[in-house]
Amino acid sequence: MADEDPPAPPGSLPKYLAEGLPKQDTETLLETREYLETLIEWSQRPVEGAELPEDAQPVEGASEARGTVVEEMVTCGDETCACMTDGEKHGPYLYRYYREGGTLTSEYLGKP
């Protein structure tokens, strides 16, 4: 006996998609799958050098699953620190730049 109900959607799927997708015909679902695959590829595209901070240096051979790993010299924000008064930045520190929801995001990874 075939299942009468469609498979359960992931809990993270917004309600409007969870309710709307099962109502679509097969052709629309196939086109949607193709679009989703293209959208995922676009959202995970490498971060280009022009998008990175001016002083960020990409790390050769860094193997992050998604994003671009860079070394950066940074200021700490303490107005009495030499990084603010003399321009002597701290670091280098490793950061990973990646795209999340269409926005370029950075994540601190630590010292090299």
Residues paired with residue 93 on neighbouring β-strands, in sequence order: 72
Residues 78 and 105 in one domain: yes
Residues 57 and 103 in one domain: yes
Q: Which two tokens stand for residue 15?
A: 């309600």
DSSP 12: T
Q: Is residue 4 part of a domain?
A: no
Q: Is residue 26 part of a domain?
A: yes
State which amino acid sits at residue 92: P
Q: Which two tokens stand for residue 58?
A: 């990409």
Owner of token pair 């280098």: 92
Residues 55 and 105 in one domain: yes
For 29-85, write each residue's pLDDT tens digit.
999 999 999 988 888 777 888 888 888 888 877 766 678 899 999 988 888 888 888
What's the pTM value of the predicted model, to 2 decimals?
0.63
Residues 37 and 54 in one domain: no
What distance in Å separates the CA atoms of residue 92 and residue 111, rounded to the nearest whole number? 7
Cβ atoms within 10 A of the Cβ of 65, count? Answer: 7
